[in-house]
Structure 1
Amino acid sequence: MIRDDTACPSCGKHNLALKYALNDQAYHTAKCRDCGFIFMHPYPSDAFLHDYYKTRSLYNSGNDASSYDRAVADRTALITGLLARGGTKPNGRSVDFGAGVGIAVAAQAALGFEALGIETNPQAQAAGHEAFGVDIRDLSLEEMPRDLSLFTLFEVLEHIKYPREFMAQVRTHMATSGAVAGSVPNYNSYARYLRGKDSNALYWPEHVNQFTRETLTQTLEGAGFEVVYVGFPPPYGVVIATGLRAWLRKVLPEGTIVCRVVAAITWIKKCLIYPLPNSFAEKTGLLGHGLVFVARVRA
């Protein structure tokens, strides 16, 4: 099927408002005046994106074992909470799409799923096999297993052209009681208000879609899912990064004192600074760093 990469990928209209000129001046962030969807205009070609992802460096390659253990524990806790919201029990087949080195795949396997990761980057596949012993393959969506109890995509949907069509294809692989869960950068994050085109939500050339709570909900519902939750559970809410803890670890020798100071700063941010802005983000959909979602297959 031939698509018009200059039209809105959600509704197909050309009634667009250009927002930001991106790092490559041939591309802009555009908002559809008809449906509100926000995206990179025009979409980059499939060939360009394929070559880019095959050769890019890994985000978390070279991490030590303890870093991986913490990441798996954090992802396990997040998935457990999302499953509880969606009423999904941790059994049956699961797929993590855009698996990277397999952190979410390892988390799903630990929860009891028959877990598979799908990832195009061969370095990531090898790293996942070595770090976790999990099954990660380069498969197309059509080759993906069916009757899935769980399909996850963390920080992936913003990379995929025509996300509603993609999620509609995913739905054909789901069990009738299945759930999808994941996360995307929030276009309405405070970082985007402060940094504009240099914010994470508009990261060039990877983030071809920019989601708000409303447009993410529209995308999932339009693909045949019932949205259970879209919000900002930690650490996806408001993030204030000063670099103070990293600076302390750099200038002071490792020991009890620096560990206690870092722990105190962490407690202050978690218990005193973050609750109010995160409550605001959860209520309004504004300022939070990333949107987390879970949805069920609609009967």
Structure 2
Amino acid sequence: MVERTMNEIRESDDSVTCAGCAAKARADVPAHVHRAPHNQRTYTLQRCPNCELQFWWPLQADPSVYEGEGFEAYVDYHTGKRPFPRWAEPLFAALPPHRGRALDIGCGDGAVLHRLAQIGYEPHGIDLDEKSIAVAREKFHLANVSVSTLDAFEHASGLRGEQFDLVTFFEVLEHQDAPLAFLAQVQRLCRPGGIVAGSVPNRDRFLARFDRRLGDGDLPPHHFLWFSRAALVRLFERAGFTNVDVTTTGALPYRQIVAKLAALFERRLRRVASLRWLVLPCKVLAPALAVVPWIGMRLAPSHLFFRCTAPATKPS
């Protein structure tokens, strides 16, 4: 990210409508600017003074970043090698004894649906990424998963009179360019009083700025919305959900932090011939260096897990 000059900000239209509460938001002075390598577009970070949501402008999704493997994570999705997402673990801690129909929006490789099926839910899922859906079918043998937009799926479900007892969306909300419209669709798909749950990245996580410098995964056109706990609660309450509970989650075990640091050193240092000799010493130092992020991740974990209740009456 770079910073715009004061003159550039004055010459631009720095007043936009907040994606979370429809209030007028102004860019900070100086404002953060991101030039996305994926599509060469320029985005500016906005901060709403009303609901505290941070969002990138222009808000316009670019689906090509998913199937085109624009980011490293999608390679893991497509090969079926992704470990179970640690930020989804809290979902399984307090599910009601009643099992029903579950829908996972942005189900990816189907890992969450597979686990829900194992405890008695009837799993259904949609994703924009055809390669990930293929993994869900082949690896987890999930039949009711499809490549679909939420609009098309909602329309088809409405024709069939279908609703779901549990609707989840992990690492999906931060991708939305119209979050309130998205949450309205979630309400229509969830039975009255049903459970809605999922996760988003924690914008206040440990070393967030450093993390963003290592890669573009938390920047547009991949992520458009940055949430704090307060901003997330306000968005769900504005959308009409009740019993909104948001907790931090996603801290890595110490061994995984060591492994990630070692892999990072090797990947970065091997790119420069004159620095390759440092790979082994850095790997040896990784266990000691991992202590700080291990502590930091417990004080400010990487993700926010949310759980709430759909309104008791179905929205029109």
Taking structure 2 as the reference length, the TM-score comes to 0.69
* 1:162 Cα deviation after fit: 1.5
Distance 1:204 1:15, change over 3 A: closer
Change (3 A) 1:56 1:227: farther
Bigger mean CA deviation after superposition, 97-106 or 15-24: 15-24
Q: Give CA-to-partner distance per residue, 1:7-57, whole Å, 9 cap, x none.
A: 21122233312342113472111101233221011212x5xx134434336
Offset, 1:109: 1.2
Whether the 8 Å CA contact 2:252–2:297 is kept in 1: the answer is no
Structure 2: runs of 5 or more not aligned:
1-14, 268-283
1:77-156 alignment to 2 at 5 Å? 77-81=89-93, 84=94, 88-89=96-97, 91-134=99-142, 135-142=144-151, 143-144=153-154, 145=157, 146-156=162-172
Number of equivalent positions: 263
Residues 1:234 and 1:190: Cα distance change in structure 2 (over 3 Å)? closer
Which residue does the alignment assign to 1:168?
Answer: 184
Rounded to whole Å, the distance in 2 between the matches of 1:273 and 1:26 is: 34
CA–CA distance in 2 between the matches of 1:30 and 1:178? Answer: 33
Question: Of 15, 18, 24, which residue of structure 2 is paired with 1:14?
Answer: 24
Q: Greater Rg, structure 1 or structure 2?
A: 2
Query: In angstroms, what is the RMSD of aligned CA positions?
Result: 3.7
Percent identity among equivalent residues?
Answer: 25
Q: Which residue of 2 aligns with 1:290?
A: 303
User: d(CA) in 1 for partners of 2:238 and 2:244?
Assistant: 14
Q: Where do residues 268-279 of structure 1 align in structure 2 (5 Å cutoff)?
A: 277=296
Aligned equivalent of 1:256: none
Map 1:109-258 to 2 at 5 A: 109-134=117-142, 135-142=144-151, 143-144=153-154, 145=157, 146-194=162-210, 202-235=218-251, 243=260
CA contact (8 A) 2:107 2:126 kept: yes
Distance 1:36 1:127, change over 3 A: same
1:76–1:89 Cα change, 3 Å? farther
C-alpha distance in structure 1 between counterparts of 2:27 and 2:258, whole Å: 32
Structure 1 residue 116: Cα displacement? 0.8
The 3-state SS of whatever aligns with 2:246 is strand
**Residue 56, structure 1, aligned to residue 69, structure 2:** yes
Q: What is the distance in 1 between the residues matched to 2:96 and 2:122?
A: 15
Measure the CA separation in 2 of the matches of 1:215 and 1:225. 14
CA contact (8 A) 1:232 1:278 kept: no
1:203 partner SS: coil
Residue 275 of structure 1, CA deviation: 8.6
Instruction: For 1:202 and 1:248, locate their aligned partners in 2 and report how far apart those are by CA, in whole Å.
Output: 21
